[in-house]
Chain A
Amino acid sequence: MGLESYQLGKKGEEIAEEYLRNLGYEILEKNYHSSQGEVDLIAKDQDCLVFVEVKSYSYRSFGSPAGAVGITKKKSIIHAAEAYLYKNNIKDVYSRFDLITIYKKYNGQQIIEHFKDAFYVN
């Protein structure tokens, strides 16, 4: 179900970045901040902008991925996303919000799950 890899010591965002690059995404921004928000990664998947939230877990959580991103977090990501679009004068482009979860097992093994369209603006 997820991509397993043995990568000790790498930070979650780096793992996610590599994962997306392997899928052919272009990474545009890392740790993008706006006045009231931040987003872990901004990438491009063909014609669609992707705002990515990365979450690392040390336990396996079963459940809706949308639930992993709480309201405050959502607002923060959305604010940052809209700021990015505004500042770069990007209009008329499809975008979406993705969630990448990384589950680190005790033995160093990692399981990556990628949820596209994890949540919406409203």
Chain B
Amino acid sequence: MLVKILSAAVLGLEAYQIEVEVDAAKRPPGQSIVGLPDTAVKESRDRVRAAIENSGFAFPRGYFTINLAPANIKKEGPLYDLPIAIGILSVSEQIKEMNSDNVIILGELSLDGSVRSINGVLPICLALGKKKRKVIVPKENADEAALVEKIDVIPVSSLKEATDYLAGKIEIKPHKVDLEAIFAQEPEYGIDFADVKGQGHVKRALEVAAAGGHNVLLVGPPGSGKTMLARRIPTIMPPLLHEEALEVTKLFSVTGLLNGKGSLVTTRPFRSPHHTTSDIGIIGGGRIPRPGEVSLSHLGVLFLDEFPEFDRKVLEVLRQPLEDGNVTISRAHSSLTYPAQFMLMAAMNPCPCGRLYDLKQSCTCSPLQIQRYWRKLSEPLLDRIDIQLEVPRLKSDELSKMPVGESSKEIKKRVIKARNIQMERFKGTPIYSNARMTPRQIKKSCVLDKEAEDILKSAIVHLKLSARAYDKILKVARTIADLELSEKIRARHIAEATQYRSLDRNPSISSG
């Protein structure tokens, strides 16, 4: 006797339909699960048995062969517990008259028969959603699934509930959410740029960074507010578009970060991994492939504090996502690509003890120590950073005198305007921000007036700037001009952009 139940598998951010075939034979009792199951799937056997018995059913006699088809896709995770249990009950006719055509079933089972939430429900519903198709999901995943309008989401909290529903004994109305309201909601960050006192110079630079998508390096002593400021950058970035919000939500769904927190993610992510994070943690992968920090900060901010403390190897793997905006993880059988378009914010002390610029306390580092410290930053990586900034520590009496700064809402308005200009400028091209301009695009879009050209030439000579630095100054100046809604780049825009090359201006500190 054979029964087929529909389910799904997630690979990366894509999902595929899986058929759970359950065959029962009157042979010496046992069970085998085939179809490239991973350990969690193989363990389902014990969970399913206990869940079935604790739901008031008898575990049926005979030998069960469970095939998760197609057999050449790896099956990962405990989401097959529920479809397997239902398959076993159906094939032993403990659920009669079950209508499971066109019903996708997903869920992990607890030993007591309750259904637990799983990862990846959103990508599954997006990929498999057909009009009027029913998808049985764990209750905690219902909001997420309901983001896909065309399907009927049937939330269940126990095996018994699922079987009663399939047998027609109870009715469960499809779970709906107010999509319009969800997509219209303003992102709630709970923090604001106004929380940070003073540091007007830094805030201005971050506004420029957010407006043009420029990566930033903040250099300052401990306690100067680098982390606080970095954390607030998402609050001045434009709100996510529908598709962007869905993409971020998919990433969170697949990593299990959504659980219990409602459906759509509307806030731009902020990730701040510790400097001991491995390269796999940063880039993604692992035995069971998972998005890394670069993907979890997709469309948001990746904050690397104590930048020189990161393993060299880890910093090297950042180059692909910074270049391509995605990350490809190769395996023997397949390769997975996760999106990774993030804004990089690196922060560090000016020297190992942190007091290099401190006016009150003196630095205890030797010149050699300082040189070594800075040498850890590789040229190619610094190359990706358009804005370099010193963040001074404010004295306590200064702090109390500071007026409250601008709110994120105000700053965001300007950022959005600048972003809109960029969207128009780059229409029809694959890029979307000034930071990503190619040399040709720079030539085309960065037209300088005479005064601006003179200042730039002067800066190059006096500060001994390289060709790379030249391009960067132009890109940043372009953003500064956009913020002012100015089509031409003026001298003052160049002047400000040049200020953000602090490393180039302090050859005694930088590696060379």
Which residues in A have some Cβ–Cβ distance to B below 8 Å? 48, 51, 78, 81-82, 85, 91-97, 117, 120-122
Instruction: Report whether A92 and B28 are in contact in the complex, using a CB–CB cutoff of 8 Å.
Output: no
Write out the residue numbers on chain B whose beta carbons fall within 8 Å of the beta carbon of A81: 28
Sample of 23 A–B contacts (CB below 8 Å): A51-B28, A82-B28, A85-B28, A93-B26, A94-B61, A94-B62, A95-B27, A95-B28, A96-B28, A96-B29, A96-B61, A97-B28, A117-B29, A120-B28, A120-B29, A120-B30, A120-B31, A121-B27, A121-B28, A121-B29, A121-B30, A122-B30, A122-B32
Q: Is the interface of B mostly helix, strand, loop or mixed?
A: loop
Write out the residue numbers on chain B whose beta carbons fall within 8 Å of the beta carbon of A121: 27-30, 63
Write out the residue numbers on chain A whose beta carbons fall within 8 Å of the beta carbon of B29: 95-97, 117, 120-121
Write out the residue numbers on chain A whose beta carbons fall within 8 Å of the beta carbon of B31: 120, 122
Tally chain B residues at the interface, Cβ within 8 Å. Answer: 10
A74 to B: closest C-beta gap in Å:
11
- A83 CA to B61 CA, complexed, in Å: 20
Instruction: Report whether B30 and A94 are in contact in the complex, using a CB–CB cutoff of 8 Å.
Output: no
- A79 CA to B20 CA, complexed, in Å: 30
Which residues in B have some Cβ–Cβ distance to A below 8 Å? 26-32, 61-63
Q: Is the interface of A mostly helix, strand, loop or mixed?
A: mixed
Nearest-CB residue, chain A, relative to B64: A120
Write out the residue numbers on chain A whose beta carbons fall within 8 Å of the beta carbon of B27: 95, 121
Instruction: Report whether A48 and B30 are in contact in the complex, using a CB–CB cutoff of 8 Å.
Output: no
Write out the residue numbers on chain A whose beta carbons fall within 8 Å of the beta carbon of B61: 48, 94, 96
- A2 CA to B26 CA, complexed, in Å: 30
- A109 CA to B150 CA, complexed, in Å: 70
- A37 CA to B27 CA, complexed, in Å: 18
Nearest-CB residue, chain A, relative to B29: A120
Nearest-CB residue, chain B, relative to A77: B28
A43 to B: closest C-beta gap in Å:
15
B94 to A: closest C-beta gap in Å:
15
B185 to A: closest C-beta gap in Å:
52
Write out the residue numbers on chain B whose beta carbons fall within 8 Å of the beta carbon of A96: 28-29, 61
Write out the residue numbers on chain B whose beta carbons fall within 8 Å of the beta carbon of A95: 27-29
Write out the residue numbers on chain B whose beta carbons fall within 8 Å of the beta carbon of A78: 28
Write out the residue numbers on chain B whose beta carbons fall within 8 Å of the beta carbon of A122: 30-32
- A92 CA to B25 CA, complexed, in Å: 7
A47 to B: closest C-beta gap in Å:
9
Write out the residue numbers on chain A whose beta carbons fall within 8 Å of the beta carbon of B30: 120-122
- A48 CA to B29 CA, complexed, in Å: 11
- A92 CA to B63 CA, complexed, in Å: 11
Write out the residue numbers on chain A whose beta carbons fall within 8 Å of the beta carbon of B28: 51, 78, 81-82, 85, 95-97, 120-121
Nearest-CB residue, chain A, relative to B26: A92
Instruction: Report whether A94 and B32 are in contact in the complex, using a CB–CB cutoff of 8 Å.
Output: no
